[in-house]
Amino acid sequence: MEPHLRAKGTNFYAIGLSYKKADAEIRGHFSVSDSAKKEILAKAKADGVEGLLVMSTCNRTEMYGFAQHPFQLIKLLCAHTHGTVEEFEKVAYVHKNKNAVAHLFRVGTGLDSQILGDFEIIGQLKSGFKISKKYQMINPFLERLLNAVIQASKRIKNETEISSGATSVSFAAVHYILAKVPYVSDKNILLFGTGKIGRNTCENLIKHTKNDHITLINRTRDKAEKVAGKFNLVVKDYECLTDEVNAADVLIVATGAQHPTVTKEMVHTDKPILMLDLSVPKNVDVQLNTLPNVTVVHMDDLSKMTDATLQRRKLQVPKAEAIIEEVKLDFNSWLETRKFAPTIKALKNKLVTFKEAEINLQRKKISDFNEEQASLISDRIIQKITNHFANHLKDENTSANESIELIQKVFHIENNNA
């Protein structure tokens, strides 16, 4: 792979940070909004970056793209988020060429997720792909690679049990409530925020707590009503938030704001409240931890919970890795073919030049020269010769790079064609 990429003076990089080394606050600094994604892609295009994919979830922010140096991508990320280069360098990772490809496979198939086997990430990759495509920032390499990752993800989902048993951040939240809150079906549960995590949590709450009086609040009431209608729950206006927080035994915050949406000033009660913050950056003010009756648990703590489900999933990892290797093999052989395709094309053009010169010469020499027939035979021979070379380069016992160099030397083909 690498000589092919280096021929253009660039390498393929994956740069990013994740829950592994960056806490929720730092991840929040590097959170990329949809509008920022578009700005990054537009700037990258203007700077001559050939291909780029941006992905930002509550657990990670990553960029996959071609650059002469990874700092090009790091600078782009820092310029369009609240993070600094110094902060990034403390917690970041940079992968290059085949290591970047391997990383994308692990991320896209849920092997690198905070909760093993969480397949929500593939949806994020697909939406990142769509935005990049719109900005014409998906080159053939990225397109082929992403399709390969999507294929591996589908196969792992279907052929292994790595996603068996409901385990996600929302499931872990409900699991925690079940473990910590006695008589949960009688408690007042308030869910604030009805985005994807909020909806999933809602579903898990109903399924596992048998609580039929869960209250929903969202800044825009109609969104909460859509979710509530599906589950037959109570919806309260955003203006009632403070009252409802004080009435709640359990508060789940799944808002997606850049600043805390639940603050210390809101709590006017002495009764115990368990607050679960499923947002990045944190949306429950850390000051709430100073109140003796309030317990705040962030999603980072929830994700550390290991249960039998996760242990079972771990047993499926070798099977998943074998599928990735299989799909990666296909991708690599496509890449090899792509590496020598320009040389074969240049060789064909050279042979066509020989053919045309020879036919011109014979036309002058031979009075009844059958140009059409001569052209047909020449084309057939050219095709056979190029096929022979292509098969030779495809052979795994061949050193493709040495052969490409030899072909270029023998036929006087310029290096920059390959």
Q: Which residues are catalytic?
A: 58
- Alpha-carbon gap, residue 238 to 333, rounded angstroms: 56
Bridge partners (DSSP) listed for residue 146: none
The Cα-based distances of 147 to 10, 66, 135, 151, 328 in angstroms read 22, 18, 18, 6, 11
- Alpha-carbon gap, residue 360 to 371, rounded angstroms: 9
Amino acid at the residue 292: P
- Alpha-carbon gap, residue 413 to 350, rounded angstroms: 8
DSSP, residue by residue, 105-121 = HHHHTTTTSSSTT-THH
- Alpha-carbon gap, residue 68 to 66, rounded angstroms: 7
Amino acid at the residue 146: L
- Alpha-carbon gap, residue 301 to 274, rounded angstroms: 14
Q: In what order do the strands lie in the sheet with 294-298?
A: 234-235, 215-217, 189-192, 250-253, 273-277, 294-298
- Alpha-carbon gap, residue 371 to 174, rounded angstroms: 80
Phi-psi region of 284 (alpha: psi -120 to 50; beta: other; left: phi over 0): beta
Start-to-end Cα distance in the chain: 13
